[in-house]
A = this chain, B = another copy of it.
Amino acid sequence: MPKQERAEETRRRILEAAQETFASQGYQATSVAEICQRAGVTKGAFFYHFPTKHALFLALLEDWLSQLDQYLNPDRYLGNNVAQSLYAMADLLKAGLTQGRDYLPMFLEFWLQAARDPVVWQATIEPYRRYRAFFANLYLQGMNEGSLCTADPSLAAVAMVSLALGLLLQGLMDHESVNWEEAAPAAFRWVLSLMAPDPATTP
């Protein structure tokens, strides 16, 4: 294996081992030695890639966010107009519920660390600010083209991002009580109908 490939493979193994260990026993209780053992790498290799456990934690957060960003690209859903794209995006919640289960402990760990650490806090809240801005912008675009109607695009963005977050969290925590994979997109579309009629139910 060429040297660069080997280094990337090592980095990936450290990230995987760290995610598993943080998820099962928490960030604070996990040592660099444990991560190295699980990943099967030397401490030398670890510190070549990550100067500190904290840097590794932030790298995991960044990896996770860039995966989310790929899903949130509106070009992937673009129908004839913004309203149609938004209704199609509701199904993202289904994917989030399926794929999010492995990430939930890490996700909660980020938030818990964020409450204690300004750097993690900044990295954790930044995407929510970005999502709210992204949706506010999309709503404006929909209003301009005439496919959406709302008195306050910023408030609508706050509501839709909050709704999605609450649906994902409850669905990931308690997947037994409700059929979340149906209920989450349905709830999202119900609230979307405040801004535009559902193309699936309108003749």
A residues contacting B by CB (< 8 A) are: 23-26, 28-29, 104-105, 108-109, 111-112, 114-116, 121, 124-125, 128-129, 132, 152, 155-156, 158-159, 161-167, 169-170, 173-174, 177-178, 183, 186-187, 190-191, 193-194
Contact = CB atoms under 8 A, between A and B. Distances in A.
Q: How many copies does the complex hold?
A: 2
A190 B183 CA distance: 20
14 contacts: A23-B115, A26-B29, A29-B29, A121-B173, A155-B187, A155-B190, A156-B190, A158-B183, A159-B187, A161-B166, A162-B170, A162-B187, A163-B166, A165-B166
A121 B173 CA distance: 8
Contacts of A108: 108, 111-112, 115
Given A26-B112, A129-B174, A158 B167 contact: yes
A169 B104 CA distance: 15
A90 to B, nearest CB: 12
Contacts of A104: 115
Nearest to A166: B162
A131 to B, nearest CB: 10
The 6 closest A-B pairs by CB, nearest first: A162-B166, A166-B166, A165-B166, A159-B187, A125-B174, A162-B167
A170 B158 CA distance: 9
Contacts of A187: 155, 158-159, 162
A170 B169 CA distance: 12
